Structure 1
Amino acid sequence: MESKRQQKFAGVIQQDLAAIFQREGMNYLPHTLVTITKVRVTPDLAIARVFLSFFNNTDNQTALQAIKLHASEIRYKLGARIKDQVRIIPQLEFFVDDTSEYVERMEKIFDKISHEPRQPDTEEN
């Protein structure tokens, strides 16, 4: 369970990272839209786990590796934005957020189930 402090800090990081990716995301991944879906921060605020979603991209793992290559540059830019609000700039760990893929997979399963013929209910008295 995250504390209010962690949640607030994660929100600040998410907003500032979104602005960084909006302005300079094309430098890291051309023709790909990067969305920060979630940020989780450790209790000591030293590590921020950033979950990303990629649009207009076929290979999420390659895109993630490209972002990880630029992690120190992204952290530096984040530090320039939040330096007056925090004591330390957290280390950034990037992960692919596969929630949309999971939802899509579940919807396909439910559609398949709903289209199967129903078996009549057998009630025994």
Structure 2
Amino acid sequence: MANYRGGRINEEVKKEVSNLIQNEVKDPRLTAMISVTDVEVTRDLSYAKVYVSIFSNSKEEKEENLKALKGASGFIRREVGRRVKLRAVPQIIFELDESIDYGMKIDELIERSKK
């Protein structure tokens, strides 16, 4: 698979998964705002790692939302298969992306050091 094709597939899957999470998944456990930050589809299209950032107040709520997303991965995979024309529909694996929290922590430390 050419490098540009991989990037296009990643972006298309990212767009569809984000749309599905926000508009289609009706799980009552999804209480926080969820943002899809990145998607990495393997070269053989068998797996797609979906990195999500969950904005919530507590760590327990983040874990509960991630568990709900993992439970909805079959539904999301089926819908991605319907909307994105690929020869194989990748298995969806959700990973928690802590980069935004880490960036906010570093920014806070920089602000403290300025004072």
User: TM class, shorter-chain normalised?
Assistant: 0.7 to 0.9
Q: Which runs of 5+ in 1 are unaligned?
A: 116-125
Q: How many residues align?
A: 112
1:75 aligns to 2:103 (yes or no): no
Q: CA deviation at 1:26?
A: 4.1
Greater shift, 46-55 or 25-34, is seen at: 25-34
Give the TM-score taking structure 1 as reference length.
Answer: 0.79
Q: Computing the radius of gyration over CA atoms, which structure comes out larger, 1 or 2?
A: 1
Tell which deviates more after alignment, 23-32 or 62-71. Answer: 23-32
AA partner of residue 86 (structure 1): L
The higher-RCO structure (CA 8 Å, 6+ apart) is 2
Q: 2:99 aligns to what?
A: 99
Q: Identify if the C-alpha distance between structure 1 residues 28 and 52 changes in structure 2 by more than 3 Å, giving closer, same or farther.
A: farther
Change (3 A) 1:103 1:19: same
Contact 2:27 2:68 in 1 (8 A): no
Q: Deviations over 1:1-36 (max 9, x none)?
A: x92121110011011111111212443544332211
Provide TM-score, normalisation by structure 2: 0.85
Structure 1 distance, partners of 2:27, 2:63, is 17
Structure 2 runs not aligned, ≥5 long: none
